Copies of this chain bind each other. A is one copy, B any other.
Amino acid sequence: MSTEAPTLVSQSKAHGGTQFVYSHESTACGCTMTFAIFVPPQAERRPCPVLWYLSGLTCTHANVMEKGEYRRLAAELGVIIVCPDTSPRGDHVPDEPDNWQFGSGAGFYLDATAAPYAENYRMESYAMEELPALVAAHFPADMDRQSVFGHSMGGHGALTLALKHPERFRSCSAFAPIVSPTMADWSKPALRKYLGEDTAAHRRHDATCLVEDGARFSDFLIDQGTADGFLQEGLKPWLFAEACGKAGVPLTLRMHEGYDHSYYFISTFMDDHLLWHAERLV
C-alpha cells in the first residue's frame, strides 16, 4: 500500500481553511485517482477528525466539492472532509461507457471479484485502506475520529461500510441512499457484473441485507426528499427502516416534502448532517 505523497491538483482558500484537490497512483485500483480534501483552519493547531463523503452515480470528487456547501460549517466545527472519486478511471479500466449505472462513475464502494472488473474496481479497499492510509500520512488528521456519509450510491457506500466496519466510524448518515441494491433494477445488474452470480456475496453489499444478517451500527441518520424521482422504484428507504426496526438499530429517517435528488436537496440538509457527525466526533 503506497503512502507516497499525492500530487497537488489545485488549492483554494475557503472559509479560513483550504479546499485541496490531489491525485495519486492507486495500488488498489490500478490507476490514477483524484480526491478532494477540505482542511479546516483548526488543523493548523491540532489534528482534526475526518468525515468521508461518498458521492453518487456519475459523480467525481468534484460534484459535492462544488455544490455540497459543506465548507462554512466544516470550518466552524473543525472537521476535515474527504471526497473520493466514485470509481477507478482511465482508458485501461474496463467500462460500459453508455451505462451510467455501472463501471466508470459507478463503483458501488465494493471490491469486484468477477473478471474483468476485479482488477480495478476495488473501491472498498480504496476507501477503507489505501486512501485513509494516505490521508493519515500526509494530512493533519486524527484517524481515531472518523465518520462517513454519502448520497445515493454514496449513501449505499456509507451505510454498508459503516455496517461492515463499525469500529472504524463514530457515525454514519446518508442523503437519499440506495439501501437495497439487491432489490432495485438499476443496481442488480451492477452487483452481478462486479460480484458474479453468488447472491450471498450480493447481500454483503446491501445495507438492508447486512442488518437482516446481523450487522449492527450505533445509529443512522437518513434524509430523503418526497419529490425524488428515484424514490418509489429505486431507493425505498422504508426497506432499510423496516430492517433496522426489527433489529433494534436506531435510525432517524426524515422525509422532506418536495425535495428532489439533487445537490439543492443535499446542500439544504448538509448542516444537519455535519452537526450530527460533529456531535459524535468532537
B67→A66 contact, CB < 8 A? yes
Say if the beta carbon of A184 comes within 8 Å of chain B.
Answer: no
Residue of B nearest to A259 (CB): B13
A265→B72 contact, CB < 8 A? no
Say if the beta carbon of A15 comes within 8 Å of chain B.
Answer: yes
B71→A14 contact, CB < 8 A? no
Min distance, Cβ A227 to any Cβ of chain B, angstroms: 7
Contacts of A225 in B (CB 8 A): 13
**Cα–Cα distance between A265 and B258 once the two chains are bound (Å):** 31
Min distance, Cβ A5 to any Cβ of chain B, angstroms: 22
Return the contact of A262 from the options B12, B69, B260, B265 (Cβ within 8 A). B12
Return the contact of A13 from the options B14, B71, B263, B265 (Cβ within 8 A). B265
Contacts of A268 in B (CB 8 A): 13-16, 71-72
CB neighbors of B among A225-282 (8 A): 225, 227, 258-260, 262-265, 267-268, 271
Say if the beta carbon of A19 comes within 8 Å of chain B.
Answer: yes
CB neighbors of B among A14-32 (8 A): 14-16, 19
Contacts of A258 in B (CB 8 A): 13
Contacts of A66 in B (CB 8 A): 66-67, 263
A264→B14 contact, CB < 8 A? yes
Min distance, Cβ A155 to any Cβ of chain B, angstroms: 18
CB neighbors of B among A63-119 (8 A): 66-67, 69, 71-72
Contacts of A15 in B (CB 8 A): 267-268
Other than A19-B264, A69-B267, A71-B264, give 7 A-B pairs with Cβ distance below 8 A.
A13-B225, A13-B227, A13-B264, A14-B268, A67-B67, A71-B268, A72-B268
A sample of 7 inter-chain contacts (CB < 8 A) reads A12-B264, A13-B225, A13-B259, A66-B67, A71-B267, A72-B267, A72-B268
